Structure 1
Amino acid sequence: MLTIRHTRTEGTLIEGSSKGDGVYEIVRLHGFRYFPSIKAIGIARSRDRAAQKGKITGAAAALRAAGYEVETVINEKDRRPFAEAEAERAARADHRSAHYAEGADRAQTNSEHLHAQARQRRDAIPMGQPLMPDHYSYRADRNFRDRTHRMEGKAVAEGERAAYLAGKAEAAENYERYRNHPGTTLRRIAGLETQLRRIHKWMAGKSAGGYKRSLTPEGVAELLREEEETAEQLTYWRTIIAQAEADGFIVYGPSHFTKGDYAQCRGRWYEVLKVNAKSLTVPGGPDIRRVISEAERVYSWNDRMPYDEVTGQMSAARMQELRARKTERPQE
């Protein structure tokens, strides 16, 4: 008996399968994959999400057609708190970082060892000594040089592998910092607020996002779950922003700017041409100067700068003062 079980806590997994029984070859065509870490077959990224019923139904039908006895169990009520899920994701990132760093160290050590061996072998060959096809030692000399060349190739490959794994380790190490970055978090909050508004419209029988949702008892139950989960995530991420503000981060908005001020974004200052509800209108174009103003603009069109991308504010008077000070030259 095979059981395809889905819960919000564990995701979608197949129970009752063992290696070599042919199940994986069937269900992989329906979006399932094998997870070596838990030695189980399931659907990737299915934890903390609603069941992907199309994949589950398709896999179950294919298994039954192949002669397997299959049952499907979907329990959407079994879920874990969002904060717990985030903590586990951060812990797994720490584990990945340590794993990749260890692999990078091993690869770097191997690379250095192989390079040292190859140098010793090269040093054993007299400088400028060519291969001598007519000499009795020709075959041994050629094999010696070929092995040395292969050794050097392995040393280079191990060095490249070390660099690759070191990059993976750094990315995993920075996972939580990037995920909790205030700008990223603000954009995530905006998306969740939009989703919550859509859920409320769907529950009222209205169209949102270009379509309507089913209001059958099962459909309403799913919408209520989504509403609860979305509200929980909003609370979590708003707490992250509140802590960032307590640490000195400024959440910029319309109240921080007036026309003529300057806003900083990605290391450059842009003159504010108009203050909007969700963004600032600034001079457009791929200008690479440190300060881009209306009077000195190169391109004719304007761009919008969302507030979650703003990292600084400066008045027009202060900007003029700083630019004047920069252009002053000492008199001789």
Structure 2
Amino acid sequence: MITVHCSSAEGITVTGTSRADGSNKLLGNRSKGGLGLKWGSHIDAWYVPHSRDRHNSLNRARVEEIATRLRGAGFTVEVEYSDQTRTAEARETELYERADARADAYTGFARNAARRSDTHRETARAATAGIPLGQPILLGHHSQRRHERALERSDNHTRKAIAEGDRAAHWAGRANAAAHLEEHRKNPGVTRRRIERLEEQLRRVQRAIDGTPPPGRRRWYGEPMPATGEHLDRLQHDKAQLADEIAHWGAIIAQAEAEGVKIWGPDDFQRGDFVLYSGTWWEIKRVNKKTLTVPWGHLGIGRTIMRFADAYNRHGQLSTDTDTLPYDKVQGHMSAADAAEKFPPPAAV
């Protein structure tokens, strides 16, 4: 009996198959006619990639597609649905633990590659150690072939040393990224952008539950059609999961703020102030709910301060082009008076 299991905590998995029953041709590589599942040796089952802990994990259409294909090939299939979920905190904890394990493994790969690079480099030096520097190869001399073989061996090991050095740098970079994953995900700027995306998804799910149109749509044909039945259950599941994630990341922001990290917002700025971003102070034209309106970014490249009065385009005309800077990318604030004192504007000619 083959079982197709679907839950938010485990994703979509297929158990009960064997290597010789032919199910791998139905479930495996799409390019070979399969359904695109992958084999997980650590769980001894087939699984749908990226189906775990997703807001659309309860994908019944995908489950039924898998079950139908297997039944059509003569297999006996049982389908199981579960409302089992994991909290955002539990998911993040597991993610960081796996990242730490990857960092350790990648560090080992980098160390081994560096050791092999050193070995090849020493072998390359030893191959030509008996040939004095600058000594020519005497054509026709009994030493010609010996010297040529030594140089070939040295060149071969030098190339291998370079390749292993590149491999060591690659794995070292992967190890560094894995080791700093938690720091990156908890960065206040990254976290605030994640919360905004989650809140937008939550609003979209709520509109689907209520059967209301997206904001800004002028025409809406027919009466509102609230979700019902299985569709409603799936949306309610997604809503609860999104709310849990927003609460989790909101607590991370609150903790960062309590530890002294400045969380910038509209109340910190006013028109005429200057905001620091990417090494340049930008004059603020407008303070919006989610962004600051500043001069066009291309005009401020390489400048310490960028005022609207200095924003001339390539034709020598005063430019009115603007950009918007999200609050999560703000790196500093300076009032107009402080900017005039620290960076006096050029005297008028």
> TM-score when scaled to structure 2?
0.84
Alpha-carbon distance, 1:280 to partner: 1.2
Instruction: Answer yes or no: is 1:63 the counterpart of 2:63.
Output: no
State the Cα RMSD in Å: 2.7
Q: What is the distance in 1 between the residues matched to 2:123 and 2:309?
A: 64
**Structure 2 counterpart of 1:234:** 246
In the alignment, the residues of structure 2 paired with residue 280 and residue 13 of structure 1 have an alpha-carbon distance, to the nearest angstrom, of 46
Cα drift, residue 39 of structure 1: 4.4
How far residue 105 of structure 1 moved from its aligned partner, in angstroms, is: 0.5
Matches within 5 A, 1:247-326: 247-286=259-298, 287-288=300-301, 289-299=303-313, 300=319, 301-324=321-344
2:129 paired with 1:123 = yes
Does residue 86 in structure 1 map to residue 92 in structure 2? yes
Asked if structure 2 preserves the Cα contact closer than 8 Å seen for 1:183 and 1:309, the reply is yes
Equivalent position of 1:330 in the other structure: none
- The equivalent residue for 1:47 is 52
Aligned mates of 2:80, 2:147 — CA distance in 1:
67
Cα drift, residue 125 of structure 1: 4.2
Q: Which moved more, 1:3-12 or 1:19-28?
A: 19-28
**8 Å CA contact 1:24, 1:33 repeated in 2:** no
Q: Deviations over 1:39-71 (max 9, x none)?
A: 432112211121344443333333334333333
1:205 Cα offset (Å): 1.4
Q: Which residue of 2 aligns with 1:108?
A: 114
Partner AA of 1:215 in structure 2: A
**Residue 188 of structure 1 corresponds to which residue in structure 2?**
194
- Give the Cα–Cα distance (whole angstroms) in 1 for the partners of residues 50 and 343 of structure 2: 51
**Does the 8 Å CA contact 2:272/2:285 hold for their aligned counterparts?**
yes
- Does structure 2 retain, via aligned residues, the 8 Å contact 1:131–1:142? no
Indicate yes or no: 2:226 matched with 1:221: no
Pairwise CA distance, 1:9: 1.4
**Worse-matched range after superposition: 197-206 or 77-86:** 197-206
Displacement, 1:147? 4.2
Distance of 2:280 and 2:69 partners within structure 1? 57
Question: 1:25: how far off?
Answer: 3.3
Counterpart of 1:123 in 2: which secondary structure?
coil
Shift of 1:292: 0.8
Shift of 1:273: 0.7
Distance 1:8 1:281, change over 3 A: same
| CA-CA distance at 1:17 after TM superposition | 2.6
Identify if the C-alpha distance between structure 1 residues 26 and 122 changes in structure 2 by more than 3 Å, giving closer, same or farther.
farther
Cα pair 1:199 1:227 within 8 Å, conserved = yes
Return closer, same or farther for 1:147/1:55 CA change in 2, 3 Å cut-off. farther
How do 1:126-205 and structure 2 match up within 5 A? 127=133, 128=135, 130=137, 138=145, 145-205=151-211
Superposed CA deviations along residues 12-56 of structure 1, whole A, max 9, x for unmatched, are: 222123445543332122221123444432112211121344443
Change in 2 beyond 3 A, CA 1:162/1:38: farther
Cα distance in 2 for residues equivalent to 1:39 and 1:97 = 25
Contact 2:6-2:58 within 8 A present in 1 as well: yes
- Give the percent of matched residue pairs that are identical in Structure 1 and Structure 2: 35
| SS of residue matched to 2:297 | coil
Task: Report the Cα offset of residue 131 of structure 1.
Answer: 8.1
Specify whether residues 134 and 298 from structure 1 end up closer, same or farther in structure 2 by C-alpha distance, changes over 3 A only.
same
1:275 is displaced (CA, Å) by: 1.3
What displacement does 1:136 show? Answer: 9.9
Equivalent-residue separation in structure 2 for 1:270 and 1:246 (angstroms): 28
Amino acid in structure 1 at the alignment position of 2:47: G
With over 3 angstroms needed to count, the CA separation of the structure-2 counterparts of 1:19 and 1:157, relative to structure 1, is farther
Structure 2 unaligned regions, length at least 5: 314-318
| TM-score calculated relative to the size of structure 1 | 0.88
What corresponds to 2:81 in structure 1? Answer: 74
Task: Report the 3-state secondary structure (helix = DSSP H, G, I; strand = E; otherwise coil) of the residue aligned with 1:108.
Answer: helix
Contact 2:5 2:81 (C-alpha < 8 Å) held by counterparts: yes
Q: Which moved more, 1:31-40 or 1:260-269?
A: 31-40
Asked whether the 8 Å contact 2:58–2:234 carries over to 1, the reply is no
Amino acid at match of 1:296: D
For 2:50, what is the secondary structure of its paired residue?
coil
For 1:47 and 1:217, the matched residues in 2 are separated by: 23
Structure 2 contact 210–225 (Cα < 8 Å) conserved: no
Q: Which moved more, 1:298-307 or 1:236-245?
A: 298-307
AA matched with 1:15: T
Q: Is the 8 A contact 1:107 1:162 kept in 2?
A: yes
Give the match for residue 35 of structure 1.
Answer: 40
Name the SS for the 1:117 alignment partner.
Answer: helix
Unaligned runs of 5+ in 1: 328-332
Contact 1:213 1:219 in 2 (8 A): no
